[in-house]
Structure 1
């Protein structure tokens, strides 16, 4: 066993020398190893090397062993590891490619998906917004369609006026429209109308291609349903947004309405140019066709006319046959070709239609006289606006059918009579105009309203003197004062002194001294006689007894709704200016036994489908005792009492023969009538008012510039017009006397100052 040799010690050599040789045959010599410090690095190293090795597990036999792996294993492992390295390299390469290529591709796909989602959300939101905005209008489409022009008819059903300031439209049922027009519209506008859901994608694409090829809008691609939506719901702005709204709403329209309903709405509202909306108006405007008792104008359209009209809506101005006949003719032939191609007409019918359109009288523009009764119409429009609480401008396309009280035949006859008389009086008496009102006092119906005898005069023809002009009524105002007095118990037989009279006025005004028309005084006269001969002084004295306020109240309650001037003692002579129609309404109250029925021009108001909206039934109101109304009627119909002023056969007596024949004792049958004349100061206004058992007539005569007439009295100026109007209005009516006195009146004889009279008194 070896012992450790301490570092730094050198073993001694024999002989005291130094070196490494030893003596041969010398005996080994025992050496003591050097001591190392226990904690030195060398000691630590020696101890580490002295640790015995861990024994091998198992038992080792020194005999040959079998190989642990089969032959070729290492080669296969090498190849496998090589393939693995290639695979890992491929994966690494794929990862490197994915990081550089697939990631952007994924980002692109995600972006596309995001855009699609945004578009979908936007489209969905747009669709929902469209339905939310216009959904209610789809359900109420028939109610929101442009309404017809308001039409006004006379009492016999004759059309006298149609509002055209916003175009003309008259709706008719589909079965009242020519099938040729329906076929023409479908052929040129919407070939697959009965099959498509309201829009036609192929048509839209075809139109888009045509527009892009032409670099301008040459085709719209809109179906009939879309055009209906454009005209009535979304508006006609040329934007993609509006087109999308049409496409969105079209299926809803097609689901809610039948194809026939859609076609009817379209044909009644589409614009055909010349301010004509719908087939009925277009048939009139271009071909002069009118509604008859058996057919509407639209129902009379033939193939050529229908093809011409069907070509207009796509461009109403550029294809207006009056303005651009060549363009209209070209379009018409395109329509006919489409009708032929789609089997609606034969080749012969197409050729015949083209030949018809080439005739010189093919187009016949319709004309309508909207001034058959202009003053009555204006009065009616004001009344209509008041009844419906709207503005007159709101009535143009309100779709209203207004049946009025006007008798147009009577109106025309009265107008001619007035024109004839004014022509006779013009030069000699400086009289240029007249106004006439005929009222049915039992209903308040205005049967005639002539506001001006020359309605077409460009200077003053439109002015309606009857309902808009304020004119002084003269002595025709006196019956209101007499009625006030009679109502207070004064008898028509009571006498009054017709003599000089001076009234002291208040407030520093000069005194008032009335004079009679004939500038004479007549002493003691009954009020009956004074009224019939239109004496002024007795009337003023009667007003002093009744008071101005009471007399004015009577006039207002009977029909004088408005006036100009200051009420005072002069008003008994007609100083207050009033409307002729109001004065006539006041006399109608006398005629109706003291019951006032406000005058009205309208009987019924219906919508364009014929449904009743309003029936005018003025409420009667008693404003005067029947006894008083009877006494006024009895006095005004007493022709014997007015012989002094007017003569036996004046125009206030309703005989059928001439005045000369009447004076010759041949008046013929005389119809009872009550009448009163009136002439204002300086002969500026001339009136005759009166009534029979059937009608009340008021007539004014004068000048438009308010200049004075020359030597005219009521019986000469307005009287003859009143006389002729009465006979015209009563034509065919039986002659009836006025009703007898109420049981509360009694006729008795009383001695008054100056006279003994027999007249009516309250019991």
Structure 2
């Protein structure tokens, strides 16, 4: 034991502790930790267990992560390529070291010293096994010391084969899979013996970030490529095997979706991915009895899902035709029922839970509009609405919606499809689409910041733009122009005038607009040309909602937050986000923010979204977005306490049909959502800031007029 303490103390003292706390102190720390090491009995008498829990912001359970679905296998049953793949990816010196890798620890210590903390772990397979079974995932030098000491001790009691067998049965590999045998079944629908080299390498790449690589297949393939390259460098496979495995298609099974995580909502899956980016050894936090509390407000989540679903059904009734009798066993939505059509004279009716209900007239009209004709005995999907039944079907059109706290950036609700069962693609975060006129408030706000006023007159006629020195002239289309030839800035935004926006953008300058969009997080790198002012460059709904939070709050965009805390199985909080403080100067001052909010209130009161918010009884500041031929339709609106965005479009962009727009297709989602939720979220009691005053004007000309429209302008 003395040799053990002295040799390991020297190693860790030199490579880790000495860099942090000094050599003598480091030696004392190691000796102290050696005396206080936990028992290794759980590893010697290995009995895998427990599960983790995901809760909403109020502590209500949302998801039980894994009943630790694991099929224990012996090392003899695990293919050699799979063993080698894990060793190449996680611990290339596994067969030679004594539980810790001296060179790896030294390299990690140097990196950690430069980073000012524990950023790189250098854990061997033995250390990972110790951490998973005996220790916690605390991120500290002390934990790393204990880990190495215990790993050294374990290697005196267990053979390499025994350690490897325990590790390959213990490790969490995403999608509810514990151990390699269960992972092979979940990801590929195969037994271990049937796995290809390509599939073995994919599984071996998962421990680094099991949720991310398990759900995002493109990232998983990137990690697989790394594992294969490591196997090639270590001469575990030939160059021919490497090339063949790299080129082989990776067919991930969509089956075995009885895992709880596969049934998780888009919000929960996105939050779990966030856990992986902020918590060291996140696979443990998702698999070892941890409690992950997310920012989701379940009341808001339910209201948002309902609002999106009802809007997409309404679109289906306007633009589509019935697809015919329902042939599946179970309905895709809980509130729907699959039942045969019945007739009573000339009237159609159905039975829902034993209650006879007539089919609504619009349902009958909808069902008879296409190639099918409604007839008795046909099995249909229906939903009870009031005292009638309405025919339902899953629409081809899709959508997404997000609700965010504009003060903190906490995402309170999010949905990325009509129904989330089996839908891994989250359109709120992953669908990159043209935002169209949704970006205009930022152009107008920048103009206000530069000295323009909501009353400033600007030419409202056709415009021809020659941008970036190109020879071609661009003449964007617009709505009907004003009779006078001029409109105020306010009117230009309220009625979404393209010509006005482009003239403003030209006055502001392409470079300044590009910098603004990048600073707002709308684009990572803004494309050149003035067309970006009309939303020609793609973005995501979540990024756009985050940018709108700047207009709702303090002029600074918010970083989306989805995780409230992560606690270990003993109740220790291992992660709790600090209130993120963006030290950047606000993009807009308080007067500009007051002016742009007032102008955006006009959008919902008498502008492009007035029909959706008619009779609301509360004020939402918002903007519609509609791209060419209504291929993408948007609306984002906010109050003081909530920013809500919605998107509707086909996954393969195509025109939504006549009459569809941001105001008629997307805005009703936000209106329906605000109508359902607590009235505190509908408050918009912004105060007039210092440096601003209200004057009365003629709304058509912007000229002062007693008894006219009350406009916010800057004090002289």
1:470 maps onto 2:470 in alignment? no
Q: Tell me if the contact between 1:160 and 1:372 (Cα under 8 Å) persists in the aligned partners.
A: no
- Return the match for 2:57 from 155, 159, 162: 155
1:550 maps onto 2:509 in alignment? no
Question: For the residues of structure 1 that align with 2:132 and 2:640, how far apart are their CA atoms?
Answer: 58
1:375 maps onto 2:260 in alignment? no
Question: For the residues of structure 1 that align with 2:626 and 2:10, how far apart are their CA atoms?
Answer: 69
1:441 maps onto 2:406 in alignment? yes
Q: Tell me if the contact between 2:304 and 2:414 (Cα under 8 Å) persists in the aligned partners.
A: no
1:419 maps onto 2:383 in alignment? no
- Return the match for 1:603 from 541, 564, 570: 564
Quickly say closer, same or farther: Cα 1:570–1:612, change in 2 above 3 A. same
Question: For the residues of structure 2 that align with 1:574 and 1:230, how far apart are their CA atoms?
Answer: 48
Unmatched 5+ stretches in structure 1: 1-122, 170-227, 234-240, 248-268, 278-366, 656-669
Q: Tell me if the contact between 2:307 and 2:670 (Cα under 8 Å) persists in the aligned partners.
A: no
Deviation track 1:605-655 (CA, whole Å, cap 9, x = no partner) reads 222221222321221553321111111111111258735x555xx113462
Question: For the residues of structure 2 that align with 1:243 and 1:388, how far apart are their CA atoms?
Answer: 28
1:762 is matched with 714
1:618 is matched with 580
Deviation track 1:498-519 (CA, whole Å, cap 9, x = no partner) reads 0121122334341111221457
Quickly say closer, same or farther: Cα 1:726–1:141, change in 2 above 3 A. farther
Q: Tell me if the contact between 2:460 and 2:481 (Cα under 8 Å) persists in the aligned partners.
A: no
Quickly say closer, same or farther: Cα 1:690–1:610, change in 2 above 3 A. same
Question: For the residues of structure 2 that align with 1:748 and 1:572, how far apart are their CA atoms?
Answer: 30
Q: Secondary structure at the match of 2:291?
A: strand
1:526 is matched with 488
More moved, 707-716 vs 425-434: 425-434
Quickly say closer, same or farther: Cα 1:614–1:654, change in 2 above 3 A. farther
Question: For the residues of structure 1 that align with 2:699 and 2:606, how far apart are their CA atoms?
Answer: 21
2:328 is matched with none
- Return the match for 1:674 from 601, 606, 621: 621
Deviation track 1:248-286 (CA, whole Å, cap 9, x = no partner) reads xxxxxxxxxxxxxxxxxxxxx999xxx999xxxxxxxxx
- Return the match for 2:661 from 694, 697, 713: 713
Quickly say closer, same or farther: Cα 1:140–1:463, change in 2 above 3 A. same
Give the drift of 1:246: 7.8
1:54 is matched with none
Question: For the residues of structure 1 that align with 2:670 and 2:582, how far apart are their CA atoms?
Answer: 26
2:538 is matched with 577
Quickly say closer, same or farther: Cα 1:516–1:270, change in 2 above 3 A. closer
Give the drift of 1:741: 1.6
- Return the match for 2:470 from 503, 508, 511: 508
Structure 1 segment 356-505 matched on structure 2, within 5 A: 369-370=260-261, 373-388=264-279, 393=283, 395-397=285-287, 400-426=290-316, 428-429=318-319, 432-457=397-422, 461-505=423-467
Unmatched 5+ stretches in structure 2: 12-29, 72-129, 136-152, 160-169, 179-257, 321-395, 705-709
Question: For the residues of structure 1 that align with 2:581 and 2:537, how far apart are their CA atoms?
Answer: 27
- Return the match for 1:164 from 54, 57, 66: 66
Give the drift of 1:576: 1.3
Deviation track 1:52-87 (CA, whole Å, cap 9, x = no partner) reads xxxxxxxxxxxxxxxxxxxxxxxxxxxxxxxxxxxx
Structure 1 segment 56-67 matched on structure 2, within 5 A: none
1:632 maps onto 2:596 in alignment? yes
Question: For the residues of structure 2 that align with 1:242 and 1:745, how far apart are their CA atoms?
Answer: 71
Quickly say closer, same or farther: Cα 1:168–1:608, change in 2 above 3 A. farther
Question: Please, what TM-score do these two structures have when normalized by structure 2?
Answer: 0.54
Question: For the residues of structure 2 that align with 1:163 and 1:741, how far apart are their CA atoms?
Answer: 49
1:589 is matched with 550
Structure 1 segment 169-184 matched on structure 2, within 5 A: none
- Return the match for 1:140 from 21, 25, 38: 38
Q: Tell me if the contact between 2:40 and 2:154 (Cα under 8 Å) persists in the aligned partners.
A: no
Q: Tell me if the contact between 1:529 and 1:641 (Cα under 8 Å) persists in the aligned partners.
A: no
Q: Secondary structure at the match of 1:759?
A: strand
Quickly say closer, same or farther: Cα 1:443–1:397, change in 2 above 3 A. same
Question: For the residues of structure 2 that align with 1:553 and 1:437, how far apart are their CA atoms?
Answer: 25
Q: Tell me if the contact between 1:654 and 1:672 (Cα under 8 Å) persists in the aligned partners.
A: no
1:741 is matched with 688
Quickly say closer, same or farther: Cα 1:750–1:373, change in 2 above 3 A. same
Q: Secondary structure at the match of 2:310?
A: helix
Give the drift of 1:490: 0.7
Quickly say closer, same or farther: Cα 1:738–1:246, change in 2 above 3 A. same
Question: For the residues of structure 1 that align with 2:530 and 2:3, how far apart are their CA atoms?
Answer: 78
2:643 is matched with 696
Deviation track 1:160-198 (CA, whole Å, cap 9, x = no partner) reads 2344396489xxxxxxxxxxxxxxxxxxxxxxxxxxxxx
Question: For the residues of structure 2 that align with 1:722 and 1:465, how far apart are their CA atoms?
Answer: 16
State the superposition RMSD in angstroms: 4.5
Q: Tell me if the contact between 2:461 and 2:481 (Cα under 8 Å) persists in the aligned partners.
A: no
Deviation track 1:701-728 (CA, whole Å, cap 9, x = no partner) reads 1112222211211111111111111223
Quickly say closer, same or farther: Cα 1:128–1:744, change in 2 above 3 A. closer
Quickly say closer, same or farther: Cα 1:147–1:532, change in 2 above 3 A. farther
Give the drift of 1:480: 0.8
Give the drift of 1:396: 3.7
Question: For the residues of structure 1 that align with 2:157 and 2:605, how far apart are their CA atoms?
Answer: 81
Quickly say closer, same or farther: Cα 1:735–1:576, change in 2 above 3 A. closer
Q: Tell me if the contact between 2:488 and 2:700 (Cα under 8 Å) persists in the aligned partners.
A: no
Q: Tell me if the contact between 1:653 and 1:673 (Cα under 8 Å) persists in the aligned partners.
A: no
Question: For the residues of structure 2 that align with 1:636 and 1:502, how far apart are their CA atoms?
Answer: 27
Q: Secondary structure at the match of 1:741?
A: coil
Q: Secondary structure at the match of 2:662?
A: coil
Q: Tell me if the contact between 2:541 and 2:645 (Cα under 8 Å) persists in the aligned partners.
A: yes
Quickly say closer, same or farther: Cα 1:487–1:654, change in 2 above 3 A. farther
Give the drift of 1:699: 0.3
Quickly say closer, same or farther: Cα 1:515–1:165, change in 2 above 3 A. farther
Question: Please, what TM-score do these two structures have when normalized by structure 1?
Answer: 0.51
Larger Rg: 1
Q: Secondary structure at the match of 1:575?
A: coil
1:62 is matched with none
Q: Secondary structure at the match of 1:716?
A: helix
Structure 1 segment 290-301 matched on structure 2, within 5 A: none
